[in-house]
Structure 1
Amino acid sequence: MSGRGELTDAAWERIGPLLPKRGGRGRPWRDHRQVVNGVLWRRRTGAPWRDLPERYGPWATLLEYLQIRYDAVRRVDWTVSVDSTINRAHQHSVGACKRRAADGGTLEDPGHSQMRQALGRSRGGLTTKIHLAVDGRGLPLSIVLTPGNINDATAFSQVLDNIRIPRAVTGRPRTTPARLLGDKAYSSWAIRHLLRRRGIAAAIPERRDQMANRRRRGDKGGRPPAFDKNIYRTRNVVERCFARLKQFRAIATRFDKLAERYRAGIVIAALVLWLREPAADYLSDRL
């Protein structure tokens, strides 16, 4: 039996055998299902860790499990869409430990600390931007965090590099989408060149200033980039994915001080989205 928002028995049957078994010396691990359900409860409610119900175990133990990574599935729609969303950072997310200088003296500059923890100041205050790549069904393949004031194109190469799905049996992991869909924020020469070099077809609309500049140059401006409007219409799967992820309150608003913990919570929520797909076969070498 599972409670509201917890892993169902069917979902647990998929991922339970994939979790690592405790070996060697040391304290025994807490029940994996209890731990994962505790993390899901916190993601869903946005409550502080210290308010975690006792049935999920000590809150400090759960923090050790936040670096959860999932391997992907055998069947993926490799028409990949990319986009980003800005989430406001709660005041509790500010104040992570700053690095000290080598001599143990001056603290790290607050601006550098915020950059390292993916916090950026904009009109709405401190924010974090989630950069996402999803497959054709809107399931997350790559998650990258930056401060909220970072341009989408700046993080694109990292988002693309983070797409990595191991093969079912042997062979190198697949890292190359068949086609990539992005809005005008990704319309740059550097991004289009990167996609051509990797053999990835692009469906990215050209910005007006780029069209005007090309026309102004005449024959030297070159041909307009290929753009398929029909395929581009399917890009809304990434917007729908953001809407599903933001059903978790601790994702819609950032409460975590450390960027790695906030991202780990997003990975856990992404895992839940994968588990809700009835036709998917799950593989993982670590969770």
Structure 2
Amino acid sequence: MRRHELADHEWELLGPLIPRAVRGRPRVEDRQIINGMVYKIRTGISWRDLPERYGPWQTVYTRFRRYAIDGVFTRTLQQIQARADAAGDIDWLVQIDSTIVRAHQHAAATGRKGGSTGRTNRNDHALGRSRGGLTTKIHLACDGQGRPLALILTAGQRHDSVMAQALLEHIRVPRTCPGRPRSTPGHVVADKAYSSRGFRAYLRQRGIATTIPEKDDQKKHRRNRGSHGGRPPRFDREIYRRRNTVERCFNRLKGFRGIATRYDKTATSYEAAVSLASFLLWARSF
């Protein structure tokens, strides 16, 4: 095994989940192609600069785009989550947060005249303008061990609280036995950015316990209303100390240079790259 390639136990988990070709010419070995994808995401190099040991770069790129469009890596991530859930290995103390990713000039070319997609709206590809220029925001939910459960890409200026409900609804861990996927966390931990009456009401409606600090202006408004302001929301400081788990998850994901800086023109490709990196975080935890 070379540097930045799949270990044997990682391939044993991923290999059976890769679609097999049933017709056509014999194709390059799947493990060789997937290793090329992992190498590219890990190092952040251009597709054209892939080492020759992975085969023609066009083959690796074409296979990656096909898998991205078909949602292959999203399904593989769900399957490894299902395996962990069946073994009782998921800590359902779910933590949510977001991180900003700077878009490289190659990604920022999307939407210009002559671009690969022909679209003119940058938000169609989760590209937006913030203080750092063109950026993408990754909204992430992870379990208590810092492994990704769900993710959403948006433009960089999109506020965290706007995507909170949608992010939790993206959590769908399939069952290995008959039954609906598990989608309800036991507890949600988040920072002040998620402190809103609407989000708290949504969590209460679903029966999900919360640990979210209250904003200072919300405290002041509640106190000014006196007895009509209601009780302060429950807040457990000991549980909140575990919120750094999601920050460590982001750090591990951004260890992949192709994740820390966005080089992909389309949101579909970048989301596939993040999903593949997330799968590897799960595989390395077993």
Q: Give the TM-score normalised by the residue count of structure 2.
A: 0.89
In the alignment, what sits opposite 1:184?
192
The Cα offsets for residues 202-248 of structure 1, whole Å up to 9 and x where unpaired, read as: 10000000000000011111111111110111111100000001111
Listed as ranges, the matches of 1:1-287 within 5 Å are: 2-23=1-22, 25-62=23-60, 63=64, 64-66=66-68, 67=71, 68-69=73-74, 70-71=77-78, 72=81, 73-74=84-85, 75-97=89-111, 110=120, 113-278=121-286
Q: Distance in 1 between matches of 2:266 and 2:181?
A: 29
Q: Distance in 2 between matches of 1:99 and 1:90?
A: 18
Identity of matched residues, %: 52
Q: Distance in 2 between matches of 1:154 and 1:219?
A: 29
Gaps of 5+ in 1: 101-106, 279-287
Q: CA deviation at 1:5?
A: 1.3
CA contact (8 A) 2:192 2:214 kept: yes
Amino acid at match of 1:194: Y
Q: CA deviation at 1:17?
A: 2.5
Higher relative contact order (CA 8 A, sep 6+): 1
Secondary structure of the 1:223 match is coil
Q: Distance in 2 between matches of 1:21 and 1:93?
A: 30
Segments of 4+ moved more than 6 angstroms: none
Q: CA deviation at 1:50?
A: 1.1
CA contact (8 A) 2:4 2:39 kept: yes
In the alignment, what sits opposite 1:284?
none
CA contact (8 A) 2:96 2:140 kept: yes
Q: CA deviation at 1:98?
A: 6.8
Secondary structure of the 1:194 match is helix
Q: Distance in 2 between matches of 1:93 and 1:16?
A: 30
Amino acid at match of 2:38: L
Secondary structure of the 1:3 match is coil
Q: Distance in 2 between matches of 1:122 and 1:13?
A: 41
Q: Distance in 2 between matches of 1:270 and 1:170?
A: 25
Q: RMSD of the alignment, in Å?
A: 1.7
Q: Distance in 2 between matches of 1:234 and 1:29?
A: 46
Secondary structure of the 1:177 match is coil
Q: Distance in 2 between matches of 1:10 and 1:167?
A: 22
The structure carrying a bigger helix percent of its residues is: 2
Q: Distance in 2 between matches of 1:201 and 1:29?
A: 50
Q: CA deviation at 1:261?
A: 0.5
The Cα offsets for residues 136-177 of structure 1, whole Å up to 9 and x where unpaired, read as: 000000111111111001111221111010012111100000
CA contact (8 A) 2:94 2:185 kept: yes
Amino acid at match of 2:143: D
Give the paired residue count: 267
Amino acid at match of 2:29: D
Q: Distance in 1 between matches of 2:207 and 2:14?
A: 34
Q: Distance in 1 between matches of 2:210 and 2:24?
A: 51
Q: 1:216 to 1:56 in 2, by over 3 A?
A: same
Q: CA deviation at 1:60?
A: 3.2
Q: Distance in 2 between matches of 1:28 and 1:175?
A: 40
CA contact (8 A) 2:111 2:122 kept: no
